[in-house]
Amino acid sequence: MDKTFDPRAIEARWRDTWERSGWFAPQGSGAPYSIMIPPPNVTGTLHMGHAFQHTIMDSLTRYHRMRGDDTLWQPGTDHAGIATQMVVERNLKLAGSSRLDLGREKFVEKVWEWKKYSGDTIENQIRRMGSSVDWSRKAFTMDPSYSEAVIEHFVRLHEDGLIYRGKRLVNWDPVLQTAISDLEVVQEEKDGKLWHFRYPLAGSARTQDGLDYIVVATTRPETMLGDTAVAVHPEDERYKHLIGRKVKLPLSDREIPIVGDDYVDREFGTGCVKITPAHDFNDYALGQRHKLPIINIFTHTAAINDEAPAAYRGLDRFEARKRVVADLEAQGLLAKIDDHKLKLPIGDRSGVVVEPYLTDQWFVDLTRKTLDDGRPGGWTAITEPAIHAVEGGSIKFVPENWSNTYFHWLRNIQDWCISRQLWWGHRIPAWYDADGNIYVARNEAEVRSKYQLPDDLPLRQDEDVFDTWFSSDIWPLATLGWPQETPELKKFYPSSVLVTGFDIIFFWVARLVMMGLKLHGDVPFREVYVHGLIRDSEGQKMSKSKGNVLDPLDLVDGISLDELLKKRTTGLMKPETAPKIEKATRKDYPAGIEAVGVDALRYTFASLASPGRDIRFDFSRAAGYRNFCNKIWNATSYVLMNCEEQDPNPDGQAWLSEADRWIISRLQKVEAEAAEHFRSYRFDLLAQTLYQFVWNEYCDWYLELTKPTLRGDNDSAKRGTRRTLLRVLEAILRLLHPLMPFVTEDLWQRVAPLAGKAGPTIMLQPYPTAQPEKIDETAEADVEWLKAFILGVRQIRSGMDISPKITLPLLVQDAAAADAERIARLAGSITALTNVQEPLLLAAGEEPPVSATSLLGSMKILVPMAGLIDKEAELARLRKKKAQTESDLAKNLARVSSEKFVNGAPPEVLERERARIAQQRQELAALNEQIGKIEAL
């Protein structure tokens, strides 16, 4: 066995073996267990969040597979319409080309090339992390069969009257030139201005103060070119007499009405609001109420169009704003400019301000109770069942409180705009004839037969594609073969759990539930495990533009500072931020990043996966778990060294020591805890429990305790210890395997045969379960006593600064019968672990020599001081102990002297408290006596 654990070699060895052997595919006769991967976008590479999420899913998958469940982890990727199209467009731009240069067909070919590259990268990353997905079922949201399912999805909803096409105000991204949904718009607060303009009153109208104009306040002056009214509050004393009169809209030379509407906030601005129905959601609604004309003044790129006065045509919206303000000022119509904080709607992909824009789009009805023809509307048929599924417990959120987020969104849901003016995505299966009639069916042939159209009637398919989420919302169905009733669909739907981030509860989780129920009549999963976000060590979100991203594989393999700098500073959207990023990177990783291996990285993620909490990624944790892997490696090395070919008769009679029975007993409890932690998705506690058991109990104590036995000459005891060493280690490897698959597999191959286990892989071995009959409280108590005894001796040695090489004499005073019995029984362990001579029991009343002392209950552990010990050091040690004891005692005395406590606390608490006090008094007396003796020297 190699001297040191080398993750790279181990990982390479097992990755391929597992996959080639077909062990990732569902098998086993147990209950079906399935997880659908949230398909990563083919926009590039996987980040830390994916690695984290995949660690959790793989741990669950491996755990259930080991439990014998028929386990499927379904892999795949998402075409991610807008996001991927943007990436490819950016690449084209760098190459001096553009989407429009290429044309649709060629462009889509380019995207497919990119998809191949990105998809392969992602697959490779998933493989590297040890994720045991069933590659034979790999899916992509634009696979032919998947596309068919998406079309089926649309057509069925359409047939149920739940899809409509309409001219609506939608969020328009002027850079991407497509509609986007409400969810794809983020509100950002910015410092802006509030401009006050004078709008002249038409005819003889005058304000109360006799002025011939009113002042409107706006944050968007350029939209005044599309104003079709000014609104005031109907009960606003200042203006209500003007309702029904008109103003002369400056610059455009149109007369527009003054309307009264209680949407107007009298306190805000001047109380007069300019109304632009074509470019503001509130104004649009108000316009509908007052039957105002709608004047669209923008082109698709948010430049001013020909509806506006000639002077402004062709200007970009921000240029137009400047011009409008300047022109109004020149005409003396600019009253004032205030500073103002405003919320800007930003496209989450393009990062530019989106415009409310009037276009024809496809929508899913999610809000109507009943359709005009009496059939159930979207609210009844889609939204409400999704709410009920969680209310009624068919789906459980973990942690539970995320269900509130889910409910809140669904209860306030809007209809969903599902068409996108993109080239990359599923074409909408709708056709138009020359008169603009719309036909929806699965393909053109079906359209003709369904609507009985003549063969020669020219039809044109809709140019638009679906919102990506409209295809991913059937992921669990489509990957299992829906709309066909495949055996896989029957077996693995609903899936067991969805592992996902809270950021896509709306985008994806809610829609999965809605469509799963609508299209297949059952929920898509039983539980939703919602994990936190991975942040950097400062708590910042990781993003390329901040330059704080980490590639999980760079932690696995390590990376030099130069390489890391290069990765972080090339291809930036804003190259000017590079120096800042470089500085921060040099500070955080002055020597680059050391390799920790996959297992350690996975263990780190698990240990930080506390519910309802984001993760600040801390490299030192990963380094710590790398050390943990090494620890396991070395412990195995010790076990093998002591067990391989050591016993000519390994099946002979075996006697189990206290230590053997103790570690076996502890193992049972750990196994029970592990099961509970898996059940409750507490990967952090699972990681902690196993770490603690392996390092602090198995390695620190048990392995040390086996040494004297194995050096001894009692064959039956040696056999018992060897057997225990092997069996517990073998169980440990299985316990750890879901979290750290590689090193456990590698070690298991060597340990298992010696532990009487056979099989080609640890992956298919049963996960250890507790056997309560092996719990041995007596052995546990013995070893706890032994540990306390040994600690007492070690404290003396360390406190006195005595070299570990010196074998100390050891006396024991005031030993109770039980202590004496234990000392006799466990003396071998004591002498071996503390380098002392056999402890000598002092008879009652026998006066010991002056000694350094530790207390264990009423018993004193004594190391004679003659020639060894620094008097002052021992005094200091004893006085410190005394001070501690006195302080504890005082606190406890205060408590029991309180009448309230005595009367109120349950008897067993009172009893425990009194026992504690007695114990502390005894200790204090012993300490005082000892201090006195040493002082007298």
Partner RNA sequence: GGGUGCUUAGCUCAGUCGGUAGAGCAUCGCCCUUACAAGGCGGGGGUCGACGGUUCGAGCCCGUCAGCACCCA
Calpha distance 865→871 (Å, rounded): 8
Under the binding rule (CB under 7 A), the answer on residue 469 touching RNA is: no
Part in contact with RNA (CB under 7 A); list of ranges 421-429, 721-729, 806-814, 904-912: 904-912
Under the binding rule (CB under 7 A), the answer on residue 451 touching RNA is: no
Q: Which is nearer to RNA, 115 or 797 (CB)?
A: 797
By CB under 7 A, name the one of 288, 301, 798, 928 that touches RNA. Answer: 798
By CB under 7 A, name the one of 401, 769, 807, 837 that touches RNA. Answer: 401
Part in contact with RNA (CB under 7 A); list of ranges 10-18, 366-374, 460-468, 619-627: 619-627
CB 187 within 8 A of CB 237: no
By CB under 7 A, name the one of 691, 767, 785, 789 that touches RNA. Answer: 691
By CB under 7 A, name the one of 97, 634, 761, 858 that touches RNA. Answer: 634
Q: Which is nearer to RNA, 52 or 114 (CB)?
A: 52
Torsion of CA 390, 395, 401, 407, to 10 degrees: -30
By CB under 7 A, name the one of 248, 290, 916, 921 that touches RNA. Answer: 916
Under the binding rule (CB under 7 A), the answer on residue 574 touching RNA is: no
Residue 259, burial from CB neighbour count under 10 angstroms (0-12, 13-18, 19+): buried
Residue 341, burial from CB neighbour count under 10 angstroms (0-12, 13-18, 19+): exposed
Q: Closest approach of Cβ 402 to RNA, in Å? A: 8
CB 832 within 8 A of CB 861: no
By CB under 7 A, name the one of 491, 544, 707, 933 that touches RNA. Answer: 707
Calpha distance 229→257 (Å, rounded): 5
Q: Which is nearer to RNA, 845 or 907 (CB)?
A: 907
Q: Which is nearer to RNA, 123 or 745 (CB)?
A: 745
Part in contact with RNA (CB under 7 A); list of ranges 305-313, 399-407, 651-659, 810-818: 399-407
Q: Which is nearer to RNA, 217 or 629 (CB)?
A: 629
Under the binding rule (CB under 7 A), the answer on residue 624 touching RNA is: yes
Calpha distance 937→374 (Å, rounded): 103
Calpha distance 439→459 (Å, rounded): 9
Q: Closest approach of Cβ 732 to RNA, in Å? A: 12
Name the helix (H) or strand (E) containing 531. strand 525-531
Q: By CB under 7 A, what part of segment 639-668 binds RNA?
A: 641
By CB under 7 A, name the one of 201, 278, 703, 832 that touches RNA. Answer: 703
Part in contact with RNA (CB under 7 A); list of ranges 221-229, 384-392, 533-541, 743-751: 533-541
Pair of tokens at residue 153: 């999805």
By CB under 7 A, name the one of 906, 932, 936, 937 that touches RNA. Answer: 906
CB 46 within 8 A of CB 105: no
- Nearest residue to 168 (alpha-carbon basis) of 41, 364, 357, 392: 357
CB 855 within 8 A of CB 790: no
Under the binding rule (CB under 7 A), the answer on residue 794 touching RNA is: yes
Pair of tokens at residue 178: 């497509």
Part in contact with RNA (CB under 7 A); list of ranges 433-441, 474-482, 793-801, 921-929: 793-801
Q: Closest approach of Cβ 358 to RNA, in Å? A: 20
One symbol per residue from 324 to 343: x for binding RNA (CB under 7 A), - otherwise; what is it? -------------------x
Q: Report the Cα 17 to chain-centroid distance in Å.
A: 29
Q: Closest approach of Cβ 118 to RNA, in Å? A: 25
**Which phi and psi (to 5°) does residue 706 adopt?**
-75, -20
Q: Closest approach of Cβ 138 to RNA, in Å? A: 31
Pair of tokens at residue 268: 């805000």
CB 225 within 8 A of CB 309: yes
Under the binding rule (CB under 7 A), the answer on residue 696 touching RNA is: yes
Part in contact with RNA (CB under 7 A); list of ranges 315-323, 331-339, 695-703, 719-727: 695-703
Question: Which pairs from 565-568 meet CB under 8 Å and 24+ separation?
Answer: none
Under the binding rule (CB under 7 A), the answer on residue 618 touching RNA is: yes
Calpha distance 25→70 (Å, rounded): 9
By CB under 7 A, name the one of 296, 610, 646, 831 that touches RNA. Answer: 610
Under the binding rule (CB under 7 A), the answer on residue 49 touching RNA is: no
Q: Which is nearer to RNA, 325 or 643 (CB)?
A: 643
Calpha distance 843→493 (Å, rounded): 74
β-partners of residue 204 are none
By CB under 7 A, name the one of 265, 503, 911, 935 that touches RNA. Answer: 503
Q: Which is nearer to RNA, 158 or 621 (CB)?
A: 621
CA distances from 323 to 253, 359, 555 (A): 16, 27, 53
One symbol per residue from 818 to 857: x for binding RNA (CB under 7 A), - otherwise; what is it? ----------------------------------------
Q: Report the Cα 16 to chain-centroid distance in Å.
A: 28
By CB under 7 A, name the one of 635, 731, 852, 865 that touches RNA. Answer: 635
Torsion of CA 624, 629, 633, 639, to 10 degrees: 90
Q: By CB under 7 A, what part of segment 874-893 binds RNA?
A: 880, 888, 891-892
By CB under 7 A, name the one of 627, 749, 831, 858 that touches RNA. Answer: 627
Under the binding rule (CB under 7 A), the answer on residue 299 touching RNA is: no
Under the binding rule (CB under 7 A), the answer on residue 900 touching RNA is: yes
What order of strands is seen across the sheet that includes strand 396-398? 396-398, 525-531, 495-501
Under the binding rule (CB under 7 A), the answer on residue 903 touching RNA is: yes
Q: Closest approach of Cβ 496 to RNA, in Å? A: 23
By CB under 7 A, name the one of 111, 216, 278, 608 that touches RNA. Answer: 608
- Nearest residue to 227 (alpha-carbon basis) of 298, 162, 279: 279
Residues 6+ away with beta carbon under 8 Å from 916: 892
Calpha distance 6→2 (Å, rounded): 8
Q: Closest approach of Cβ 654 to RNA, in Å? A: 21
Under the binding rule (CB under 7 A), the answer on residue 405 touching RNA is: yes
- How many CB atoms lie under 10 A from the CB of residue 112? 16
Whether omega before 494 lies within 30 degrees of 0, making that bond cis, reads: yes
Under the binding rule (CB under 7 A), the answer on residue 4 touching RNA is: yes
Part in contact with RNA (CB under 7 A); list of ranges 1-9, 82-90, 260-268, 517-525: 1-9
Within 375-522, where are the H helices?
378, 384-391, 402-411, 444-450, 468-472, 475-478, 487-492, 511-520
If binding means CB under 7 A, how many residues of this protein chain bind RNA?
81
Part in contact with RNA (CB under 7 A); list of ranges 96-104, 296-304, 420-428, 500-508: 500-508
558: left (phi over 0), alpha (psi -120 to 50) or beta: left
Q: Which is nearer to RNA, 165 or 616 (CB)?
A: 616
Calpha distance 813→851 (Å, rounded): 11
- The tally of CA atoms less than 13 A away on the side-chain side of residue 15 is 17
Q: Which is nearer to RNA, 27 or 627 (CB)?
A: 627
Q: Closest approach of Cβ 882 to RNA, in Å? A: 12
Q: By CB under 7 A, what part of segment 177-206 binds RNA?
A: 182-183, 186-187
